[in-house]
A and B are shown apart, each in its own frame.
Chain A
Amino acid sequence: NAGVTQTPKFQVLKTGQSMTLQCAQDMNHNSMYWYRQDPGMGLRLIYYSASEGTTDKGEVPNGYNVSRLNKREFSLRLESAAPSQTSVYFCASSEGGGPPLHFGNGTRLTVT
């Protein structure tokens, strides 16, 4: 099993460009999450999806949109990237109401 697959691993964007981060899990988990991690700070939740067909805002949703395409896939879109969105992004999944159990390898995004 691959677990949680997240793409791309690295990305450099110019301010104003858009991009979509892809995430897929093969464990049949209901819950999926998008986090960002910045130096000296804890992970911060951007959006989560408790089950297929539902999405909810986390702590820092501004500037992002998500799509829970099906049970496997949960994508994160930056419509107009800003330097403040330079970060490492992690997708995660869990079963039911448990804590995030499986994480993707992360996407290192730089916005210039």
Chain B
Amino acid sequence: RKEVEQDPGPFNVPEGATVAFNCTYSNSASQSFFWYRQDCRKEPKLLMSVYSSGNEDGRFTAQLNRASQYISLLIRDSKLSDSATYLCVVGMDSNYQLIWGAGTKLIIKP
């Protein structure tokens, strides 16, 4: 079993819709959680950290479910520019050695 698993997609979603995807992690001792986005053939960019109580940044909401060992990302009112691959990243006792998921590809269609 992979340490961090994501549905590779692609998720094809019409512009303006709400989309959500999950990421599961195997190590219950994981302490830190992040979402990055990566555009095609570009470098990853930190989208948001994920906090225990859940957090929101504009149209993006991240949630953590420790009991079931998954994190989620919800995007409301999706824009064409949201098309990207979303990477789930999990850390243990430091942020130096993070475990990266392979990503979920999102395509927003007009």
Q: Which residue in B45, B87, B97 is a CB contact (below 8 Å) of A45?
A: B97
The answer, yes or no, to whether A94 is at the interface (CB within 8 Å) is: yes
Task: Summarize B's interface: helix, strand, loop or mixed.
Answer: strand
Number of interface residues of A (CB under 8 A): 24
Contacting pair A103 B44 (CB below 8 A): yes
Q: How many A-B residue pairs have CB under 8 A?
A: 55
Q: Which residue in B8, B41, B43, B98 is a CB contact (below 8 Å) of A99?
A: B98
Number of interface residues of B (CB under 8 A): 24
Contacting pair B46 A100 (CB below 8 A): yes
Mind listing 29 A-B residue pairs with CB under 8 Å? A41-B102, A42-B87, A42-B89, A42-B99, A42-B103, A43-B100, A44-B100, A45-B96, A45-B97, A45-B98, A48-B96, A56-B96, A59-B97, A90-B43, A90-B44, A94-B95, A97-B94, A97-B96, A98-B95, A99-B32, A99-B91, A99-B95, A99-B98, A100-B44, A100-B95, A103-B45, A104-B43, A105-B42, A106-B41
